[in-house]
A and B are shown apart, each in its own frame.
Chain A
């Protein structure tokens, strides 16, 4: 296969980011829902970041921008007054396209999809003065993949966008953040023999509890008790849960999950055997909860060494 970087980004998917500034974080749920509602965008990571030095972080974010420096300086002054906490939403942009916008020194290319969402969010959540939107933007977005790569490296993700391109196993389609493995077994597993690691405590002081699948917040949600799963997501999303989950997506998935079809595409539930001999799910807690709720006796699961 040719190197991904040698293919112009208008002919392939690319990684973009949305950055919600401190004064917009209170609207995070609505903003994420707006991004997720776009068909051509797939959220790959949600992460809070507390910049140790806000002015330096603002400079780092805008150092790859195309606007002249004096303009950026004036434009970003308001950010120094905001809370030093940002939320970064990285998306895979399936149809990036490229549109030249602006004139003179401001002229640059950007993805029309990103532009539309960015402006929509700004219209809705930027502060208003005399019924007009101020230019104190709650959100910033990337114009190209290089900016995404630089931002990820700046916040400590050493490999940048390569992080999302890594495949823990060449055969299976599993989440990018699993440890790579070259050997696995596919075996029939009873739903009640599966356990899941569920976070307890706070994002800054937490513990992972190994719970049987029928006691997880996901299974409780399927039984109609929505609060445990809602509060679980509210507490840990962006901190320890960096994948995108939502109640509506999970409810939708519960209706139309076809696990056999997923396995034909290499999307198995992945588990590992713990020291106590139990099977702990590494990827596919939601799928396992659904199969358990449907009373499926046994199903194929990938067990890694």
Chain B
């Protein structure tokens, strides 16, 4: 499969160098990319980063090329579209994405930004810093991504291959980190008081008694209740 590379990612990130960001799960082929692929970015200020990104890409716009921006709370998609076909997507996050299979502490997001590592990139005659998550955060996020998606997408095994390509000590380090940032579900036992539990229990029977009174009348209902109590007494 050939690279698309219609968008020069080195130039795009050059104009975003002053922003606080960290690319996570950075593809191995970067700055090359395949058509339809994406890149995940944690942003300190998602609005400012999107503005910088859109501004840098808008200088590359031509006939038939558009930039599509879709915003959901704390997650934006910036799509580079050629002839109505997605060529490349920037998946931007302003907070930690939520996962169904594992609950992570929101502070992990800021830890990733804080510990980001700068990599020197050459764009033309200039050199600038391109920021990615540090190795242990990278492994942690890849592992979580694998857990979340492997059932539905087999290709996510690539994250495990990536983790296994790292030395033993960094693997044990990320497991420790995962333990630190994993949040246990809140315990709900004893959350409600006695009054609320009793009301909840009896409110379930209200419809039963309503239907009985409607069908048998008040007297019939009392007789039925008496019969039931009598049976319970004999037992």
Q: How far is the CB of A78 from chain B (nearest CB, A)?
A: 49
Question: Which residues in chain A, 238-272, are within 8 Å of chain B measured between CB atoms?
Answer: 260, 263-266
0/1 string, B118-133, CB within 8 A of A gives 1: 0000000000000000
Partner of A171, one of B54, B63, B65, B72: B54
B55 touching A171, Cβ below 8 Å: no
A109–B33 CA distance with the chains assembled, in angstroms: 61
Q: Is the CB of B51 within 8 A of A171?
A: yes
* B53, chain A: closest CB distance, angstroms: 9
Say whether, besides A264-B51, A264-B52, A188 and B61 are in contact (CB < 8 Å): yes
Query: How far, in whole Å, are A144 and B78 apart by their CA atoms in the complex?
Result: 41
Contact between B55 and A170, CB atoms less than 8 A apart: no
Question: Which chain B residue lies CB-closest to A183?
Answer: B70
Q: Indicate with 1 or 0, residue by residue over A164-178, a CB within 8 angstroms of chain B CB atoms.
A: 000001111000000
Asked if B69 CB lies within 8 Å of chain A CBs, one says: yes
Is A171 within 8 A of B69, CB to CB? yes
Interface centre among A182, A183, A186, A300 (most CB of B within 10 A): A186
| Residue B66 lies at the interface, judged by CB distance under 8 Å to chain A | yes
The answer on a CB contact under 8 Å between B51 and A266 is: yes
A184 within 8 A of B: yes
> B232 at interface (Cβ–Cβ under 8 A)?
no
Cross-chain contact A170 with B61 (CB below 8 angstroms): no
B71 near A183: Cβ-Cβ < 8 Å: yes
B71 & A170 in contact (Cβ 8 Å cutoff): yes
CB of B8 within 8 A of chain A?
Answer: no
Does A187 belong to the interface (CB within 8 Å)? Answer: yes
Secondary structure type dominating chain B contacts: mixed
Interface flags, B56-72, vs A, CB<8A=1, else 0 = 01110111011111111
Chain A binding surface SS class: mixed
Which residues on B sit within 8 Å (CB–CB) of A170?
46-47, 71
| Residue in chain A with minimal CB distance to B67 | A186
Kindly list chain B residues whose C-beta atoms are within 8 Å of the C-beta of A188: 61-63, 65
Nearest residue, chain A, Cβ from B58: A300
A147-198 residues with Cβ-Cβ distance < 8 A to B are 169-172, 182-188
- Asked if B110 is at the interface of the complex by the 8 Å CB criterion, the answer is no
Closest to A182 in B: B71
* Cα separation A172 to B71 with both chains bound (whole Å): 11
Q: How far is the CA of A187 from the CA of B66 in the complex (A)?
A: 5
Interchain Cβ contacts within 8 Å, total number: 56
Contact among A186, A265, A266 with B61 in the assembled complex (CB-CB below 8 Å)? A186
How far apart are the CA atoms of A186 and B71 in the complex, in Å?
14
Binary per-residue interface labels of chain B (32-56) against chain A in the complex, 1 for a CB within 8 Å, 0 otherwise: 0000000000000011001110110
Q: Which residues of A contact B59 (CB under 8 A)?
A: 260
Decide: B69 and A183 in contact? CB cutoff 8 A: yes
Which residues of chain A from 36 to 70 have a CB within 8 Å of any chain B CB? Answer: none
Q: Mark A271-305, 1 if CB is under 8 A from B, else 0.
A: 00000000000000000000000000000100000
A187 touches B61 (CB 8 A): yes
Q: Which B residues touch A260, using CB under 8 A? A: 59
User: Which residues of chain B (61-98) have a CB below 8 Å from chain A?
Assistant: 61-63, 65-72, 76, 81
Would B68 and A265 count as touching, CB distance under 8 A?
Answer: no
CA distance A188 to B62 in the complex (A): 7
Contacts of B72 in A (CB 8 A): 182
User: Which B residues touch A265, using CB under 8 A?
Assistant: 51
**Given contacts A183-B70, A187-B67, A266-B55, could you give 5 more A-B pairs where the C-beta distance is less than 8 Å?**
A182-B72, A183-B68, A183-B69, A188-B65, A300-B58
B residues neighboring A (CB under 8 Å): 46-47, 50-52, 54-55, 57-59, 61-63, 65-72, 76, 81
**Which A residues lie at the B interface, using CB under 8 A?**
169-172, 182-188, 260, 263-266, 300
Q: List 28 A-B contacts (CB under 8 A).
A: A169-B71, A170-B46, A170-B47, A170-B71, A171-B54, A171-B69, A182-B71, A183-B68, A183-B69, A183-B70, A184-B68, A186-B54, A186-B57, A186-B61, A186-B67, A186-B68, A186-B69, A187-B65, A188-B62, A188-B63, A188-B65, A263-B54, A263-B55, A263-B58, A264-B55, A266-B54, A266-B55, A300-B61
